[in-house]
Amino acid sequence: MAVKKGKDTTTEDIYHACRIGDDLFIKEWVLNPENDINTSDQHGFTPLHYACSHGLTNIVDYLLTHGARNDILNMGGDSILHLAVAHGKYDVVLRLMKTAPDPNICNEHGNTPLHYAAFWNYIGICEVLVKQGAVIAIANKQGDTAYSKARPTLKRKLQGLADEFGQSLVTIPHRKSLSTKTKKDFLEFRQRQMEIEQRQVTMSLKIEEDQFGEVWKGSWSGHTVHVKKLFAKHDVFSSQTVQETFPREYPKLRILTNENISPLLAVILEPQIHLITMHYPLGTLYHILHDMDSEVRINIQEGVKLAKDICHGMRHIHSLEPIVNRFHLNPYNIVVDNDLTAKIDLSRYRFSFMDSNHMYHPQWCAPELLQKRPDEVDKRAADMYSFAVILWEIATGKIPYAGLSPMMAGFKIAKENARPVVPQFVNSHIQRIIDICWNADPGKRPKFDRIEPIMEKLNVS
């Protein structure tokens, strides 16, 4: 029976829809900006928990690509991976592996997903989990390991996997995991992921200031974080517009399922808006490429890898409906982790109550973005143009339009359709990708889901 639709729709309907696979209702519900895709019922189950436990791979994929988080636990401490494994949903397990979940997460009984796979004799799932890093010898609270719970055939399989991946079968005693939550812990965990109080954050070092606020290095819940303190313009921040739009826009920026996106982790609303994100010591892509005091210098191979990361992150963002359309792609808005992984920094998103029309870094903007109103621009095509300029920047090591002021560079781009000159030393394959991606006709620029496979095959020396 299909769930009811229309004005009488309640939150409970989304859980039912995710149990029965009512994809039309689910899509309508998810695209409604008033709904939180990570909402949970009285047992801590999110829509994604239900879709995983019922093996609805297409629904799981849709929820993940629209911002559903893979790290939320229900009241029993079960992750989405626990539920997919416990119900033997092999295809869902394979899909979840693409989000890099923790394969050794323990629930309140100390059971990992591998414990469930072994108990129910899901040999194929056991193999997938171990290949993704699941440890065979972890004991639950009763002292049982996946190996000790396995039947003879699976025991032999696990022994072979242990040998293949260099694991010991000596029991690892259960230790209380940070992922194991009591009911009280779970409720505190959920609150901590959304709105927190200013007293919970220590701000230690001011890093930079831009047109919209100050960025501080700080500490929150034992983690080093960046805290972006938005400027308090009382005629703006206390307005009804902020109160109406911020709760709708902020949840869309909590994309925790893609390794190439740095999401908003939490927010402080009173007395002033602060955005919390992870701290990345290497800084922004611009800093790494151009600042003399950068801790690292990258070669072309590492640069291309960063470009592939950017492509992967933007493909995910462009898969969302509605698109995150107030984020502008440029090297100031990309952060780099210690392992040289590039991440799209969503703390740089411009909320609708900010000055979203002025372009502060026009050197990376598509001509149409400088010529037209935002609602007249194909944002996906404009982002692809920006990606081409970043790829040029990585390949040349230069700043685009370095001899011009931002205003003059923007004028030449908008009025003269200017492009940076591609030097002859740039790899010919990179040059072709750049030419395709900054095509003068926005309609002829590729989408990120088309350019990503080309980037993945790109090898330079």
User: What number is the average pLDDT over the span 15-38?
Assistant: 90
Alpha-helix runs per DSSP H in 169-295? 183-193, 234-237, 240-249, 285-290
* pLDDT computed for residue 239 by the predictor: 57
The per-residue DSSP string of 427-448 comes to -HHHHHHHHHHT-SSGGGSPPH
Residues 123-176: tens digit of each pLDDT: 999 999 998 888 999 998 889 999 999 999 999 999 999 888 888 888 888 764
What is the chain's alpha carbon radius of gyration, rounded to the nearest angstrom? 24
**How many angstroms from the chain centroid is the CA of residue 346?**
9
* pLDDT computed for residue 357 by the predictor: 63
Tokens standing for residue 300: 């072309």
Residue 52 has pLDDT above 70, yes or no: yes
| Higher local confidence (pLDDT), 260 or 269 | 260
Structural domains of the chain sorted by starting position, each given as residue range(s) with its CATH number in brackets? 191-278 (3.30.200.20)
Single pTM value for the model: 0.60
Q: From CA 312, how far away is CA 332, in angstroms rounded?
A: 18
User: What number is the average pLDDT over the span 86-93?
Assistant: 95
Dihedrals phi, psi of 147, to nearest 5 degrees: -65, -45
Dihedrals phi, psi of 387, to nearest 5 degrees: -60, -40
* pLDDT computed for residue 240 by the predictor: 60
Q: Is 245 exposed, middle or buried (0-12, 13-18, 19+ CB in 10 A)?
A: middle
Residue 189 has pLDDT above 50, yes or no: no
Rounded alpha-carbon distances, angstroms, from residue 91 to 57, 125, 129, 430: 7, 9, 13, 36
> Predicted confidence band at 354 (pLDDT cuts at 50, 70, 90)?
confident
User: What number is the average pLDDT over the span 200-211?
Assistant: 86
Rounded alpha-carbon distances, angstroms, from residue 212 to 255, 275, 299, 332, 355: 22, 12, 33, 14, 9
Tokens standing for residue 55: 């093996």
> Predicted confidence band at 287 (pLDDT cuts at 50, 70, 90)?
very high
Q: Is 219 exposed, middle or buried (0-12, 13-18, 19+ CB in 10 A)?
A: middle
* pLDDT computed for residue 209 by the predictor: 84
Q: From CA 397, how far away is CA 406, in angstroms rounded?
A: 18
Residue 187 has pLDDT above 60, yes or no: no
Dihedrals phi, psi of 220, to nearest 5 degrees: -145, 125
Q: Is 136 exposed, middle or buried (0-12, 13-18, 19+ CB in 10 A)?
A: buried
Q: Is 143 left (phi over 0), alpha (psi -120 to 50) or beta?
A: left
Q: In what order do the strands lie in the sheet with 261-262?
A: 261-262, 342-345, 334-336
